[in-house]
Chain A
Amino acid sequence: MVARRYSGKYTAGGRRSTRETAPHAPVFRGRKVVRGKLRANLLFFVPLPLLLSGLGAISNADTAKILASLGSFGLLILAAWLLRDGLKAEDAYAARKVSRPPAIPRKAFASALTAAGIFVAAWFGWGQGIAASAVLALIAAAAHVAAFGTDPFRRKGMEGVSDFEADRVARAVEKAETLVSEIMDAAKRIGDRDIEARIERLCASARAVFRTVEEDPRDLARARKFLSVYLMGTRDATAKFAEVHAQNPGTEALHAFDALLSDLETSFANQRERLLEDNRSDLEIEIEVLRERLQQEGLTAR
């Protein structure tokens, strides 16, 4: 665990900026909830006896049992891992207004791998007959599908919009979501709760812009610069600050980054309103100003 500095209004040398005391969005807005995470995680632990059995077989030098036990254990763990990723992908799909189904049907693969794991363990490991093993495998696959459902397979929110346009929006938002998670990763490296919370709120504002674009794909042309310039700039700035802050946690860089964050907060909030207002020229000016600002800070996207 990395030690994090906790600071607040009443901490000695606490809040560094008065600007951040401005009212802002609730902390939990935009946070992702992964449904069924605990249930999926439990599947990593249930096959553990197979690992023990595999280790026992190693001490007995029983090759067939080693392969059966460790093989089925591997299959079941892989299935649990795919299922967890599948649930994450499903949540990302559910959170968006315009979305394509996940490229890999992870949950379907997880069901199939679970069936395969059960079959191998029951037949080779436990020594049951082939029919009984097959029945157990089938019941396990059916229970897996019933418990966790199937992967989303339909394109969502793309009615009345051309395929080309809808695909472009989905792709652009996917790319922007990746940038947002990179920003959050960089923020975590800074190790300052205050800064991290502000960046998290910034990301929530960015996601609000994504939802606006999804509602009206015509906004994509105008939001494209936001999706690249703003987000890439923010990512690079955050990554660079994390690097500088780790080497020299002085106040100068902190103040500069603090001020930049305040500017970005305002810009992100304005961006969505501008998109809604359809005010193109203002937006262009805003982006130019930000681009110059990032250049001055030496933080432009490479």
Chain B
Amino acid sequence: MAVEPMLRRETALLEATLRWIAYIVLIAIIWFVAIGSYGAAAGGG
């Protein structure tokens, strides 16, 4: 009987975790590209 709420809770938890992972990936890409660009400008100058 209590399976459905539990399943719903677990799905929500999974979704939140995936959102956080995606967020970390996004931040990492922006950061590395920005730092790479900075490094290229500093090295190339």
Contacts and interface: CB of A to CB of B under 8 A. Distances in A.
B37 A143 contact: no
A76 interface: yes
Interface string B19-38: 11011011101110111111
A59 B25 CA distance: 32
Given A53-B41, A146-B19, A146-B22, A118 B36 contact: no
Contacts of B42: 53, 56
Contacts, number: 98
Contacts of A114: 26, 30
A139 B29 contact: yes
B18 interface: yes
B27 to A, nearest CB: 6
Contact of A52 (B23, B27, B38, B40): B38
Given A125-B36, A126-B36, A146-B22, A57 B30 contact: no
Interface of A: 39, 42-43, 46-50, 52-54, 56-57, 59-60, 62, 65, 68-69, 72, 76, 114, 117-118, 121-122, 125-128, 136, 139-140, 142-144, 146-149
Interface of B: 18-20, 22-23, 25-27, 29-31, 33-42, 44-45
27 contacts: A39-B23, A42-B27, A46-B30, A48-B34, A49-B34, A49-B38, A60-B45, A62-B45, A65-B40, A65-B41, A65-B44, A69-B41, A125-B37, A136-B29, A139-B25, A140-B26, A140-B29, A143-B22, A143-B23, A143-B26, A144-B22, A144-B26, A146-B19, A146-B22, A147-B19, A148-B19, A149-B19
